[in-house]
Structure 1
Amino acid sequence: MISKTSAAMSVKRQFHITFGHTKDHSIDYLTGILLDSRLTTVQSIEKLTVSQLDWQYAPGWNTIGALLSHMEAIEHFFRIEFVLGRKLTTEENGHWTPALDMGEHLPKLITGKSVDQYMHELTASRQMLVDAVRHLSFEEFTRKIEGYYDEQTGCNLAWALYHMMEDEIYHRGQISMIRKLYAAHHGSGEG
């Protein structure tokens, strides 16, 4: 269980997934992947400065901080909509929409927050998702979700959560690229 930012920073990757935490091994497998993918993300950003987090290569480009906010927002959205099975409240929608949509909202996502704040938020959101997922039955995990991708007649929760993690890993690649651009732009080898 990862519950504090300092704990997340001191935890090393285990390189194996443990089973027996839930009645269903598929849930254990998913939670192992969820925890490891977030730990890898947190480890990849733990030494970034506010300048690196908020830097834009060019106007309209994503920042590392905006991408981290997006990861957190997507996670809350998937937990609420797909795992808990309810729509976002008006308040939740107002809070998460800028980070979900980015684009025109990007200026609102350049916040001056420290890496510790981002790591705390990312660690907390992942723990909330893991806690929710650990209570799923196999039937809930494999249930069909209508309307997610209409051309393919929906998806199941297992795929939706895979897709959420796929999105995080894709954005972690973007973060790596932005770090390299930042280092090149600022004449340092620290990317």
Structure 2
Amino acid sequence: MEFKIKDLEGYTPQIGRLVHMMNYARTTTLQAVKGLTIEQLDYLYADNANSIGALLTHMAAVEFCFQIETFDEREPTDAEVQEWGAGLDLGEKGRHEIKGKPLDYYIDKLDKVRNRTLTEFKRRNDDWLYVERKWASYPSNNYFIWFHTFEDEINHRGQIRIQRKMLPNF
């Protein structure tokens, strides 16, 4: 194993470096959830908490929505909102809808979304990263949006690590 941010074959230089960072964040997320059971993935340490399963769904949902915004340049369809809404909203909706699934279910969602991201990144060049767009009503660019994708994952991975320490013995 090595810890280097560098060019990555198949990608332009800046996109390849971004992919390295996203891959590292994902590796550490998967390490944080390794071996968790359905009960552990569904556990709520407080009435207003989000489960680990919900946080994993949120990671996939955020990336999916950024794909739509930056690759497809459109808003999500009603069907996509239905599929991903609980993962984006979390809270009560997430507590109600995101439960009862094994770890492989969440990993599969994360993998499917990431595979599209990687395929789309190969079709783009570094200039695309600097394309300006509005994000949350603020000036932004694709680079920041994709940085935020894994920055958000890192934030929630920290929550997962804390929650894992709080798990009761099932």
1:60–1:106 CA contact under 8 A, matched in 2: no
Matched with 1:35 is 23
State the shift of 1:23 in Å: 5.6
Gaps of 5+ in 2: none
Q: Does 1:57 align with 2:41?
A: no
Amino acid at match of 1:179: R
State the shift of 1:87 in Å: 1.5
Where do 1:1-191 residues align within 5 Å? 14-22=2-10, 24-146=12-134, 148-150=135-137, 153-182=138-167, 185-186=168-169
Please report the RMSD computed on the Cα atoms of aligned residues, expressed in angstroms: 1.8
Matched with 1:5 is none
Q: Give the whole-Å Cα distance in 2 for the aligned partners of 1:53 and 1:111.
A: 8
- Deviation track 1:55-89 (CA, whole Å, cap 9, x = no partner) reads 00121211100100111111100111123322211
User: Which TM-score applies when normalising by structure 1?
Assistant: 0.81
1:65–1:110 CA contact under 8 A, matched in 2: yes
Aligned length: 170
- Deviation track 1:75-125 (CA, whole Å, cap 9, x = no partner) reads 100111123322211111111111101123123343211112211221221
Select the structure of larger CA radius of gyration. Answer: 1
Q: Give the whole-Å Cα distance in 2 for the aligned partners of 1:20 and 1:165.
A: 18
Identity in percent: 33
User: Which TM-score applies when normalising by structure 2?
Assistant: 0.91
SS class of match (1:154):
strand
Considering Cα pairs closer than 8 Å and 6+ residues apart, tell me whether 1 or 2 has the greater RCO.
2
